[in-house]
Structure 1
């Protein structure tokens, strides 16, 4: 097994580590927090409101129209940024293939879908 196999394996291991390790550490943190809270409850300690607020803050809220609109604008901006980088990169270097426009269309279409969903979302938040 030569060195030429380690580079691709290292790339895949890095991607796997970037994806898997945050989930692992988050679940480990939750387990430790639950153990601490159980020990406090078993000893008869009252839970401060800050702890309860911290525990409930991580609960995922249902999607709202404002959140969908913000997410859509961010995805649309990413798509436009990739398209501009492709256009200007090929323009500066004299190329005329613009291959990155296909890749740029993926986040742009996701952004447009989120923006459209923001208008049809039944969970309307009051506009401030």
Structure 2
């Protein structure tokens, strides 16, 4: 029974490690198998189809460039998250008086980051660039 009592507090940490590590391991295994297939085809002298080359290069995502429109979108989403947390604080404030101020403090963090994004969008040099979806 002592072993189970040790695992219970460690369960959230083990879960996070599993959520992060298992997809990374599966993706690397898939890439290794694809590379082995390509190597075998090259060793046999077969030409690689353009669809295969395109599929292999599609997985590599170019970094998203910052634009004013993207900054505004991120800012509005963060302001909405802050507003949602503030409403939660107001609702909980009716039930428990001491819950209002800490939750409003927590709500201020994403909201103020969102305001900073919106302000920075006015100074972004890439104003006319539409973000890649």
Count of aligned pairs between the two proteins: 126
**CA deviation profile, 1:5-55 (whole Å, cap 9, x unmatched):** 322111221122223333333333333333333444444223324741662
Whether the 8 Å CA contact 1:75–1:108 is kept in 2: the answer is yes
Query: 2:116 is matched with which residue?
Result: 113
Which deviates more from structure 2 when the two are superposed, residues 44-53 or residues 7-16?
44-53
Distance 1:77 1:28, change over 3 A: farther
Q: After superposition, where does 1:48-127 map in structure 2 within 5 Å? A: 48-49=50-51, 51-52=53-54, 55-56=57-58, 58-65=60-67, 66-91=69-94, 93-98=95-100, 99-124=102-127, 125=129
Q: If you compute each CA radius of gyration, which structure gives the higher value, 1 or 2?
A: 2
TM-score normalised per structure 2: 0.68
- Residue of structure 1 equivalent to 2:31: 30
How far does the alpha carbon of each residue in 1:80-117 deviate from its partner, in whole angstroms, 9 at most, with x for none? 222212221222x2424312122222222332233233
Could you list the runs of 5+ residues in structure 1 that have no partner in the other structure? none
Q: TM-score, normalised by structure 1?
A: 0.70
Which sits farther off after the overlay, 23-32 or 8-17? 23-32
Q: Distance in 1 between matches of 2:93 and 2:55?
A: 51
In structure 2, stretches of 5+ residues that fail to align are none
